[in-house]
Chains A and B, each alone.
Chain A
Amino acid sequence: MIKEFAQGLWITFKHMLPGNSTTVQYPRVERLPTAERFRGLHRLVPAQDREKCVACYLCPTVCPAKCITVESGENEKGEKYPVVYKIDLLRCIFCGYCVEACPVEAIEMTGEYELANYSRDDFTYEKQRLLR
């Protein structure tokens, strides 16, 4: 019995020695990098002069939370492009189906997860905010 007591004391003592703490002092001191496949804030991938998106409506169709709004238009070269592309993050469940569905790899998910904001309107991400 005494031996077990001493073993326990030794374990806690070892843990107390410097360098054994596993605490991450978020956000004051460090932020851990997210995993490669982490599903954070969306990003519309830009091509040379426009976004890659061809406004095919596959992402709003597949979206289980119905948070994506797309309105398509046609530019002077006769290409389809999204006139409006909105994601309502308050509805989004970050499932990544939009990324999977996209035929031209125009939308992807980044590692950004600090999405808190002060007003409800700020959670509606328009095209310009998603194109980064």
Chain B
Amino acid sequence: MDPVLLSFSSDPAAFLVVMVAKILVVFTVLMLIVAYATWCERKVIGHMQTRLGPMETGWHGLLQPIADGIKLFFKEDIIPAEASKIPFILAPIMILVPALITAAVIPFGADLTIPAKFILPFSSGLEGVSYIVPQQISELNIGILFVLAMAGLGVYGIVLAGWASNSKYSLLGGLRSSAQVISYELAAGLTLVAVFMLSESLSLRDIVALQMQPLNGVAGFLSFLPDWVPNWYVFSQPVAFVLFVICGMAEINRTPFDLPEAETELVSGFCTEYSSMKYAMFFMAEYANMVIIAAIAATLFLGGWGAPMNIAIFQAVPGAVWLLLKIFTFMFFFIWLRATWPRVRYDQLMFLGWKVFLPLALANIIVTGLVVVLLQ
């Protein structure tokens, strides 16, 4: 019997088992990356500032994230008397959840063919049946739109945190954040338009598949390169790639765009009034967002889980390894920027967003459209 795509209608029980397994794996990996991203950040920034970073908890401070987690867990959870209680509790959840569920649409490998007996060892009548299981939690045909929508939802948490805290610093942090995200989401969304003008699909799975072909289409001018070079959209859309990475950093409030929590002016912005696990949730959301932006940038522009060269040895490596490598590269880059550049001023932020990135993104769409039409 030919393997069939596993779906809820073809075999509900197996589908649920596989789904739960996939969700658990992705969630665990994401949380591990989040925990150790804090350690890596402190280490890398430490070394860049000719310090050592954490050294005391465990070998070279390796147990630091665990120690931090335990410490935050046992801290007193303070809710200010003047805060509105329900939104105050809701806000950290509203930041963390969109950050986590974006991971659902990111593909992390080729389709697996798994015998049904392996998924449901105790049910009968499944001899010889095998299912195709995509390595992606949910294959949405509007993947990019989902990503953009969730990125937009995340800011509600920040605004809510700022408003519910009933504190000037928090409110200013929340206001800045909403202004910033509106400005940069526009440019980030427009850069993605150029990508799916080339891919003619909004599904992240299709976009990755297209990028695994040899160079073609708009990137045809690079045909002098050897034929193992994959058709990554970073070659055909370099401007969109740079714009997306910068706007992505602004959207997740990373330095140099971390104005919502600018310590020097706003204490710590929207999370000034938060303590204990609620504060830890803001922290986790920040790093989870970083992973997600890195994963999306890798998926849209750097071939997702595809190997960097179309060579048999590289293609034999599981896709998840390549995707993680690309994510780590991006995260190192984000941390590196944080160690290097100061925060931009608020008017500079708005100037960049509206007068530089937005026109550039629009111009990129027009040029891409022209080239696509001319090539047809």
Contact = CB atoms under 8 A, between A and B. Distances in A.
A and B associate in one complex: yes
Contacts of A20: 47, 50
Interface stretch (B23-31, B150-158, B335-343): B335-343
B336 A12 contact: yes
Contacts of A25: 52, 55
B51 interface: yes
A25 B46 CA distance: 14
A13 B333 CA distance: 11
B47 A21 contact: yes
* Most B C-beta atoms less than 10 A away, residue of A12, A13, A21, A28: A12
* Most A C-beta atoms less than 10 A away, residue of B49, B56, B337: B49
Contacts of B47: 15-16, 20-21
Contacts of B51: 21-23
A30 to B, nearest CB: 12
A80 to B, nearest CB: 52
Interface in A1-55: 5, 8-9, 11-13, 15-16, 20-23, 25, 28
Contacts of A22: 50-51
Nearest to A4: B341
A12 B52 contact: no
A12 B48 contact: yes
A13 B336 CA distance: 8
Contacts of B49: 15
Contacts of A23: 50-52
Nearest to A25: B55
B349 interface: no
A5 B341 CA distance: 8
B44 interface: yes
Contacts of B340: 8-9, 11-12
B341 A8 contact: yes
A15 B50 CA distance: 6
Interface in A46-72: none
Nearest to A9: B340
A interface: dominant SS: helix
A19 B49 CA distance: 12
Nearest to A7: B340
Nearest to B56: A28
* Most A C-beta atoms less than 10 A away, residue of B56, B337, B340: B340
Interface string B9-50: 000000000000000000000000000000000001001111
Contact of A12 (B55, B56, B339): B339
A39 B44 CA distance: 38
B52 A21 contact: yes
Contacts of B55: 25, 28
A23 B53 CA distance: 9
A9 B52 contact: no
Nearest to B48: A12
* Most A C-beta atoms less than 10 A away, residue of B48, B55, B56, B337: B48
A15 B339 CA distance: 11
A25 B52 CA distance: 9
A26 to B, nearest CB: 11
A16 B44 contact: yes
Contacts of B339: 12
A13 B341 CA distance: 12
A16 B338 CA distance: 13
Nearest to B51: A23
B336 A9 contact: yes
B296 to A, nearest CB: 23
A16 B48 contact: yes
Interface string B51-77: 110011000000000000000000000
Nearest to A23: B52
A22 B52 CA distance: 8
Nearest to A29: B55
A25 B56 CA distance: 10
A28 B57 CA distance: 13
A11 B337 CA distance: 12
A24 to B, nearest CB: 10
A12 B51 CA distance: 12
A7 B350 CA distance: 25
17 contacts: A8-B340, A8-B341, A9-B337, A11-B340, A12-B48, A13-B336, A15-B47, A15-B48, A15-B49, A15-B50, A16-B44, A21-B47, A21-B50, A21-B52, A23-B50, A25-B52, A28-B55
Given A9-B336, A12-B339, 11 more contacts: A5-B341, A9-B340, A11-B340, A12-B48, A12-B340, A15-B49, A20-B47, A20-B50, A21-B47, A21-B52, A28-B56
Task: Give 6 closest A-B pairs by Cβ, nearest first.
Answer: A12-B48, A16-B47, A23-B52, A12-B340, A8-B340, A16-B48
